[in-house]
């Protein structure tokens, strides 16, 4: 433009967006937005020098610049997927938009977080499962999605994706112990709590809600001894116990969840019944009766007692057990003893039937409970005789006087011999050892009779009568001397007199 000729320049169209200076500089009056406005403008301008006018058209083409960042429809998205979703399955697409054009609006997607369990398609923004899910290991994942355009420099945007892993019934209830054990006194009341079972199911809701039951009990001969609370898992006593009948119960228990179908875990419970000293010992008899010879040696066994205790009937008695018995006896004057463990009664002192023919003993059996229980029985020991005593005459020497005129068969005196043995062993017969022909000794009774002698013959007669035993063994026996003295005739009926030995 010739500055010497004054002219007027003017924008005739799009004057709100463009302007022209007197010097002819064409400019924009506002920021042009490729994304919002027109991409091309035809701007008509006029020029006038006051005489002539002219017009021209300026074509303006707006080009895009990367002045817009991508935008997600929502800054935060939540999705739920079952924990058994297969790898490669779609979760959701989370696309973004960009108002720019061409490559400035071309977006690429990426994902951060998720521990490798998820991936996103870089073009479609589809999020998929990339690894096995387990709600019990991790119930939710917070992912950060990134959308980035291809401008230079690039612009980006982010959004969060919360993936919640929903439960399926894929876990079996598991007891806290492989085997539970409880001890209970046999005297515990019905309803007593023994223990509480605990089974865990990490599933959610009904899938993880556990109920308890007993499905088997041994021994089967004693059913329904226990009851199990289905909700709390508390095991209680349902029937009275008796240690002498059952010492150990074994239960098979189940923990079932509420899923469909229900999953079941198995466990076991051992209940040991503890013996209470509620039974006294029992002798096989209330009274025993034995006979022993009086020459039985010390230490000889005469009787083994049979005693039981219902607190333990198996015979397998650990030391110190309630049914471990100890034996003692009372009476017997020290002639007998009993082994405190084996219950064998033995001779402890010399026996002599002639001194004491029988002994009454009190037998005592006592268990090891606290307090102890005991039982008693009686033992009658009868001492039988052996031929161990020699008959004894009442006098060492007998003496009698007899008239020479006494008739044959006249009783002169009566001999007496005693044997304290019993029966045939103590039955005594008499005989004599003659040096001269002499009257016999009546075996039915020790009566001495004589034949008549003339006065001028022997004045004194000595004889050796001897007792004889009927026992099996007859040792040499002592015999007294017998002296008979003749005298003058006396009056009739005058009895002879025994003369005691000096």
- Residue 454 falls inside a structural domain: yes
CATH code, domain carrying 75: 2.60.40.60
Query: In this structure, are 285 and 264 located in the same domain?
Result: no
Residue 371: exposure state from Cβ atoms within 10 A (0-12, 13-18, ≥19): exposed
CA distance 291 to 298: 15
Query: In this structure, are 458 and 406 located in the same domain?
Result: yes
Residue 315: exposure state from Cβ atoms within 10 A (0-12, 13-18, ≥19): exposed
pTM of the model as a whole? 0.52
Query: In this structure, are 364 and 409 located in the same domain?
Result: no
Residue 184: exposure state from Cβ atoms within 10 A (0-12, 13-18, ≥19): buried
Distances (CA, A) of 280 to 275, 324, 374: 13, 11, 6
pLDDT at 66: 85
SS3 state at 39: coil
**Alpha carbon 456 to chain centroid distance?**
109
pLDDT at 454: 38
Query: In this structure, are 183 and 212 located in the same domain?
Result: yes
- Residue 3 falls inside a structural domain: no
Query: In this structure, are 286 and 380 located in the same domain?
Result: yes
- Residue 498 falls inside a structural domain: no
Longest CA–CA separation in the chain, Å: 234
pLDDT at 48: 87
Half-sphere exposure of 192 (CA within 13 A, CB side): 14
Number of folded domains that form the chain: 5
Query: In this structure, are 152 and 205 located in the same domain?
Result: no
3-state helix, strand, coil in the chain (%, to 5): 0, 45, 55
The series of mean pLDDT values per 10 residues for the chain, 502 residues long, is 71 87 87 80 87 88 85 97 97 95 92 97 98 96 97 94 97 97 95 98 96 96 95 97 93 97 97 89 96 96 92 48 84 96 96 95 91 94 91 87 88 85 81 55 50 42 53 54 53 47 44
Query: In this structure, are 375 and 288 located in the same domain?
Result: yes
- Residue 494 falls inside a structural domain: no
CA distance 227 to 236: 5
- Of the candidates 166, 193, 227, which is a domain's last residue? 166
Which range marks the domain in which residue 259 is found? 174-274
- Residue 108 falls inside a structural domain: yes
Query: In this structure, are 50 and 112 located in the same domain?
Result: no
- Residue 56 falls inside a structural domain: yes
- Of the candidates 131, 150, 166, which is a domain's last residue? 166
Q: Give φ, ψ of 157 to 5 degrees.
A: -145, 160
Distances (CA, A) of 274 to 96, 219, 249, 420, 477: 75, 17, 12, 59, 70
The 8-class DSSP code of residue 218 comes to: E
Place of tokens 């938009």: 97
Strands 397-403 and 410-414: unpaired
Query: In this structure, are 256 and 232 located in the same domain?
Result: yes
pLDDT at 312: 60
- Of the candidates 274, 289, 312, which is a domain's last residue? 274
Query: In this structure, are 82 and 126 located in the same domain?
Result: yes
The two tokens of residue 272 are 């040991």
pLDDT at 230: 98
């Amino acid at each position: 433009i010739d500055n010497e000729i004054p002219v007027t320049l003017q924008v005739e169209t799009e004057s709100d967006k463009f302007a022209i200076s007197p010097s002819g500089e064409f400019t924009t009056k506002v920021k042009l937005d490729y994304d919002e406005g027109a991409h091309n403008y035809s701007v008509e301008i006029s020029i006038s020098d006051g005489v002539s006018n002219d017009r021209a058209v300026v074509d303006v083409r707006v080009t895009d610049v990367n002045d817009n960042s991508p935008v997600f429809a929502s800054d935060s998205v939540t999705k739920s997927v079952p924990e058994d979703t297969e790898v490669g399955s779609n979760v959701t697409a989370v696309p973004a938009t960009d108002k720019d054009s061409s490559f400035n609006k071309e977006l690429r997607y990426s994902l951060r977080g998720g521990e490798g369990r998820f991936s996103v398609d870089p073009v479609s923004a589809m999020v998929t499962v990339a690894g096995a899910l387990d709600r019990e290991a991790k119930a939710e994942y917070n992912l950060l999605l990134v959308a980035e355009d291809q401008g230079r420099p690039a612009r980006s945007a982010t959004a969060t994706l919360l993936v919640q892993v929903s439960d399926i019934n894929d876990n079996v209830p598991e007891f806290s112990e492989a085997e539970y054990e409880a001890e209970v006194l046999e005297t515990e009341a019905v309803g007593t709590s023994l223990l509480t079972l605990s089974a865990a199911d990490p599933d959610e809701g009904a899938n993880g809600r556990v109920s308890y039951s007993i499905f088997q009990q041994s021994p089967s001969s004693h059913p329904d001894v226990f009851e199990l609370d289905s909700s709390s898992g508390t095991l209680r006593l349902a029937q009275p116990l008796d240690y002498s009948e059952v010492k150990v119960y074994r239960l098979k228990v189940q923990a079932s969840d509420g899923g469909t179908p229900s999953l079941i875990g198995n466990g076991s419970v051992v209940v040991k019944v503890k013996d209470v000293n509620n039974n006294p010992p029992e002798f096989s008899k209330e009274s025993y009766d034995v006979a022993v010879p009086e020459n039985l040696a010390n230490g000889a066994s005469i009787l083994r007692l049979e005693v039981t205790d219902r607190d333990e009937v198996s015979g397998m008695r650990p030391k110190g057990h309630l049914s471990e018995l100890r034996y003692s006896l009372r009476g017997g004057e020290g002639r007998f003893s009993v082994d405190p463990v084996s219950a064998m009664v033995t001779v402890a002192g010399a026996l002599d039937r002639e001194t004491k023919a029988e002994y009454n003993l009190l037998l005592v059996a006592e268990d090891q409970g606290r307090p102890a229980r005991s039982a008693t029985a009686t033992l009658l020991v009868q001492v039988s005789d052996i031929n161990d005593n020699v008959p004894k005459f009442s006098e060492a020497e007998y003496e009698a006087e007899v008239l020479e005129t006494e008739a044959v068969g006249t009783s002169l005196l009566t001999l007496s011999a005693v044997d304290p043995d019993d029966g045939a062993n103590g039955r005594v017969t008499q005989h004599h050892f003659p040096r001269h022909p002499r009257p016999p000794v009546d075996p039915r009774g020790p009566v001495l009779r004589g034949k008549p002698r003339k006065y001028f013959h022997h004045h004194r007669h000595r004889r050796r009568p001897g007792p004889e035993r009927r026992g099996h063994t007859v040792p040499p026996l002592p015999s007294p001397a017998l002296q008979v003295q003749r005298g003058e005739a006396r009056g009739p009926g005058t009895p002879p007199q025994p003369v005691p030995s000096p």
